[in-house]
């Protein structure tokens, strides 16, 4: 019997995916940040209308140690060149750099310090992702500067064999994106994801706020990620 891909017990998709991104993070850290960035937790998150995001001190270990999160959206891996995905990783690494070594903008604001550091590593901040876009604002993308530090680092990584081994299979007309996804363990009550507002609380000052399910809120008082209150 021919063994299908899903039945091949020798495959390690998790290891292949995350080991690749960790090696890319380490390489970009050395080449673009002189190795000064601490490690973080790299995750894959399907957040609408974004290629990735950064969240400072997002995860904690049982001994109290905190680490940051850089999330990449796998929904775009199949339609973006690997260099562009790596540029998103570098974009979020600049946010991580600013979190530890600079002065982040309030909330989601991308300030001039962030934009200047982006340019130093070879990425031009742009609200449109094209030439002429605003360098600062709440929603700012970027484009790669030809033959800049990032461009050279990315080409070296690709030459050395970096690739995104696993990408989402695009949905077909006969198959909805969630057709073969189960409801998950300990799922939300019906209606939570359809617009019901959820209470979020700052773990430091106990400030409360209400927002849609899976929103990412940051307390404006002490810049701490706000977590949804347990029900």
Residue with tokens 């299908």: 4
Contacts of residue 128, defined as CB under 8 A and 6 or more positions apart, other chains included, come to 141
Q: Give the DSSP letter of residue 80.
A: S
- Which candidate, 118, 138, 105, places its Cα nearest to that of 223? 105
Question: 100-157, pLDDT tens digit by residue?
Answer: 999 999 989 999 999 999 999 999 999 999 999 999 999 999 999 999 999 999 999 9
- Answer with the residue of higher pLDDT: 213 or 53: 53
Contact 91, 28 (CB under 8 A): no
The model's pLDDT over 173-209, given as tens digits with 9 standing for 90+, comes to: 555 555 555 545 554 444 444 456 777 777 666 677 8
Task: Quote the tokens at residue 3.
Answer: 């063994």
**pLDDT tens column, 47-62:** 888 999 999 999 999 9
pTM of the prediction?
Answer: 0.76
Position 220 pLDDT exceeds 50? yes
- For the chain, the structural domain boundaries read 13-168, 191-231
Encode pLDDT of 80-106 as tens digits. 999 999 999 999 999 999 999 999 999
CA 90 to chain centre: 10
Pairing mode, if any, of strands 41-44 and 66-72?
parallel
State yes or no: pLDDT of 222 exceeds 70.
Answer: no
State the Cα–Cα distance between residues 204 and 221, nearest whole angstrom: 10
CA distances from 184 to 14, 56, 181, 209 (A): 19, 27, 8, 26
């Amino acid at each position: 019997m021919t063994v299908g891909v899903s039945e091949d017990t020798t495959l390690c998709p998790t290891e292949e995916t995350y080991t690749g991104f960790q090696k890319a993070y380490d390489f970009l850290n050395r080449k673009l940040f002189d190795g000064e960035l601490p490690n973080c937790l790299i995750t894959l998150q399907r957040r609408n209308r974004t290629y990735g995001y950064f969240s400072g001190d997002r995860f904690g270990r049982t001994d109290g140690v905190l680490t940051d999160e850089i999330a990449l959206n796998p929904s775009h891996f199949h339609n973006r060149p690997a260099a562009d995905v790596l540029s998103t990783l570098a974009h979020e690494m600049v946010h991580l750099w600013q979190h530890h070594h600079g002065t982040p903008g309030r909330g989601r604001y991308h300030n001039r310090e962030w934009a200047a550091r982006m340019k130093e590593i070879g990425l031009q901040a742009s609200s449109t992702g094209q030439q002429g876009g605003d360098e600062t604002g709440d929603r700012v993308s970027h484009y790669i500067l030809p033959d800049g530090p990032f461009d050279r680092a990315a080409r070296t990584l690709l030459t050395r064999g970096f690739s995104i081994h696993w990408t989402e299979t695009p949905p077909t007309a006969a198959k909805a994106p969630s057709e073969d996804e189960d409801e998950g363990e300990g799922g939300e009550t019906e209606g939570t994801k359809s617009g019901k507002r959820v209470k979020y609380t700052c773990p430091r000052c106990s400030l409360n706020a209400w927002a849609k399910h899976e929103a990412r809120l940051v307390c404006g008082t002490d810049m701490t990620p706000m977590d949804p209150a347990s029900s």
